[in-house]
Structure 1
Amino acid sequence: MPGPIELVIFDCDGVLVDSERIAAAAQVTVGAELGWPLTEADAVELFMGKSQESVGAMVVERLGPGADETWRTRYYEEFYAGLDRLEAVPGVVEALDALAAAGLPTCVASSGGHERMRRTLGRTGLYDRFAGRIYSAADDGGRGKPAPDLFLHAARQTGYAPGACAVVEDSRYGVQAARAAGMRAYGFTGGLSPASWLAGPDTVLFDDMRKLPVLLEAAGTAA
Structure 2
Amino acid sequence: MNAAPPGLVIFDCDGVLVDSEAIANRVFGRMLAGQGLVLDDAQMDELFLGRTMAHCLALVVERLGGPLPDDFEAEHDRQLFDALAAELAPVPGVVQVLDGLALPYCVASNGGPDKMRFSLGRVGLLPRFEGRLFSAAHVARGKPAPDLFLHAAGRMGVAPAACVVVEDSPAGVAAGVAAGMRVLGFAARTPAVRLREVGAHRVFTSMDALPALLDERVTNAV
The answer to whether TM tops 0.5 is: yes
SS in structure 1 of the partner of residue 217 of structure 2: helix
Which residue among 192, 195, 199 is the counterpart of 1:198? 195
Output the CA distance in 1 between the equivalents of 2:62 and 2:72.
Answer: 13
Alignment of 1:44-63 (within 5 A): 44-63=45-64
Shift of 1:219: 2.8
Give the secondary-structure state (helix, strand or coil) at the position aligned to 1:197.
Answer: helix
Cα offset for 1:68? 7.4
Shift of 1:132: 0.5
Q: What's the counterpart of residue 182 of structure 1?
A: 180
CA positional deviation for 1:77 = 2.3
CA, structure 1 residues 53+36, in 2 after alignment: closer, same or farther (shift >3 Å)? same
Corresponding position of 2:83: 82
TM-score normalised per structure 2: 0.92
Indicate how the Cα distance of structure 1 residues 109 and 7 shifts in structure 2: closer, same or farther if over 3 A, else same. Answer: same
- Structure 2 CA distance for partners of 1:68 and 1:48, relative to 1, 3 Å: farther
Contact 2:108 2:149 in 1 (8 A): yes
Please, which runs of 5 or more residues in structure 2 have no aligned partner?
A: none
Task: Quote the residue 1:92 is aligned against.
Answer: 94
1:143 and 1:150 in contact (8 A); partners too:
yes
Partner Cα separation in structure 2 for residue 147 and residue 205 of structure 1: 21
Distance across 1 between alignment mates of 2:41 and 2:31: 12
Give me the TM-score of the superposition, normalised by structure 1.
Answer: 0.91
Flag the 1:69–1:108 CA change in 2: closer, same or farther, 3 A. Answer: farther
Q: Judging changes above 3 Å, is the alpha-carbon distance between structure 1 residues 202 and 116 closer, same or farther for their aligned structure 2 residues?
A: closer
**Secondary structure at the counterpart of residue 54 of structure 1:** helix
Partner letter of residue 193 of structure 2?
Answer: S
Letter in 2 for 1:82: A
**Structure 1 residue 75: deviation in Å?**
2.2
What is aligned with 2:31?
Answer: 30
**Matches of 2:69 and 2:209 in 1, distance apart?**
39
Amino acid at match of 1:7: L
Match of 1:116 in 2: 115
Judge conservation of contact 2:185–2:200 (CA < 8 Å) in 1: no
Cα shift at 1:73: 2.2
Q: How many residues align?
A: 218
Of all paired residues, the percent bearing the same amino acid is 50
Q: 1:149 aligns with which of 147, 153, 157?
A: 147
What do the CA deviations read for 1:35-93 (whole angstroms, capped 9, x no partner)? 11111111111001001221121122123554275442232222112111110000001
**Which 4+ residue blocks in structure 1 deviate beyond 4 angstroms?**
none
Cα-to-partner distance string for 1:4-57 (whole Å, 9 max, x where unaligned): 311000000000000000011012101111111111111111001001221121
SS at match of 1:36: coil
Identify the match of residue 157 of structure 2 among 137, 140, 159: 159
Structure 1 residue ranges without an equivalent (≥5): none
Cα RMSD, aligned residues only = 2.0
Q: Which of 203, 212, 217 is the matching residue for 2:215?
A: 217
| Counterparts in 2 of 1:40 and 1:68: CA distance versus 1, 3 Å | farther
Q: Distance in 2 between matches of 1:76 and 1:143?
A: 21
C-alpha distance in structure 1 between counterparts of 2:190 and 2:71, whole Å = 27
Q: Which amino acid aligns with 1:197?
A: R
Conserved 8 A contact 1:30-1:74: no
